[in-house]
C-alpha cells in the first residue's frame, strides 16, 4: 500500500498532465485555425505543424516554468493539496469557458488558481509581490500590444501590397500564413507548454521538501 503522500503527489502530477492536455485542447489550435479556415493548410498538416512547433517551443527555455514554479508564491510553505486545488480551479474555469465558447487565457486561470490556493493555505504574505506584479502587468499589456501590433501590421501590409495583382500576391500570402502559423505555434509552446513544467517542478519540490 503506497504512502498517502505518494498518492497525493501522484495525483498532483496526474493533474499537471491533465492541465497540459486541457491547455492544448483549448488553446493550441488557435495558432492554426486561420490557416485551416482559409484552406492554406489541411487539418492534418496544420495539426502536425502545431504539434511540432509547440513541442519545439516548449524545449527552448525554462523562464516561464521557473515563474510558475516559484515566482508567484513562496513554495516553501505550500502543500501538494495547494497544487491540486490550484490546478483544479484553473482547469474547471478553462473547461467551463470552453463549453460556453468563450476564449480565455490559460495563464489567467493558472496564475489565479495557484495564487488563490496559496493564499488559502498560508495567507497573503505567501505572495511574491514583485514577480506577481510583472505577471499581472504582462497579462493586461499583452492584448493591448497585440491590438496595436496587429493594427500597425495591417496598415504596413496594405501600403506595401495593395497595388499587387491578386494572382501575384496570393501565393506569397499563402506561404506567409504558413510561416505565421508555425511561428504562433512555436510562441505558444515557448510560453504555455512551460506552465505544466513549472507546476510539475513545484509539486516535485514540495514532495521532496525543498526547491533549489
The per-residue pLDDT for 211 is: 43
The per-residue pLDDT for 1 is: 46
Q: Which residues of the chain fall below pLDDT 50?
A: 1, 210-212
The per-residue pLDDT for 189 is: 85
The per-residue pLDDT for 145 is: 94
Task: Read off the DSSP letter of residue 211.
Answer: -
The per-residue pLDDT for 4 is: 63
Task: For residues 88 and 170, give the distance between their C-alpha atoms in angstroms, rounded to a whole number.
Answer: 45
Domain ranges of the chain: 4-208
Q: How far is residue 16 from each of residues 62, 138, 194, measured CA to CA in Å? A: 16, 23, 11
User: Quick one: cell of 65?
Assistant: 516554468
The per-residue pLDDT for 92 is: 86
Q: Contacts by 93-99 with C-beta closer than 8 Å and gap 24+?
A: 94/22, 94/23, 94/26, 95/22, 95/26, 98/25, 98/26
pTM comes to 0.75
Instruction: Find out whether 32 and 46 touch, Cβ atoms under 8 Å.
Output: yes
In this predicted model, what pLDDT tens digit does every residue of 102-151 receive, in sequence order? 877 777 888 888 899 889 888 888 888 888 888 889 888 988 999 999 99
The per-residue pLDDT for 147 is: 94
Task: Read off the DSSP letter of residue 41.
Answer: S
Task: For residues 180 and 159, give the distance between their C-alpha atoms in angstroms, rounded to a whole number.
Answer: 19
Task: For residues 143 and 166, give the distance between their C-alpha atoms in angstroms, rounded to a whole number.
Answer: 31
CA angle 48, 51, 54 (to 5 degrees): 140
Amino acid at each position: 500500500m503506497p504512502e498517502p503522500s505518494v498518492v497525493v503527489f501522484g495525483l498532483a502530477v496526474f493533474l499537471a498532465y491533465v492541465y497540459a492536455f486541457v491547455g492544448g485542447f483549448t488553446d493550441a489550435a488557435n495558432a492554426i485555425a486561420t490557416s485551416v479556415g482559409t484552406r492554406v493548410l489541411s487539418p492534418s498538416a496544420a495539426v502536425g505543424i502545431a504539434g511540432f512547433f509547440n513541442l519545439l517551443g516548449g524545449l527552448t527555455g525554462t523562464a516561464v516554468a521557473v515563474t510558475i514554479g516559484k515566482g508567484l508564491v513562496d513554495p516553501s510553505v505550500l502543500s501538494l493539496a495547494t497544487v491540486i486545488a490550484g490546478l483544479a480551479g484553473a482547469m474547471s474555469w478553462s473547461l467551463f469557458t470552453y463549453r460556453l465558447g468563450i476564449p480565455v487565457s490559460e495563464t489567467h486561470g493558472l496564475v489565479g488558481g495557484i495564487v488563490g490556493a496559496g493564499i488559502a493555505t498560508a495567507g497573503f504574505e505567501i505572495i511574491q509581490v514583485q514577480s506577481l506584479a510583472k505577471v499581472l502587468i504582462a497579462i493586461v499589456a499583452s492584448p493591448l500590444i497585440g491590438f496595436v501590433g496587429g493594427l500597425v501590421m495591417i496598415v504596413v501590409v496594405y501600403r506595401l501590397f495593395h497595388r499587387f495583382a491578386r494572382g501575384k500576391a496570393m501565393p506569397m500570402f499563402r506561404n506567409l500564413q504558413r510561416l505565421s502559423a508555425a511561428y504562433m505555434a512555436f510562441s505558444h509552446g515557448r510560453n504555455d507548454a512551460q506552465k505544466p513544467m513549472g507546476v510539475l517542478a513545484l509539486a516535485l519540490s514540495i514532495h521532496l521538501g525543498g526547491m533549489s
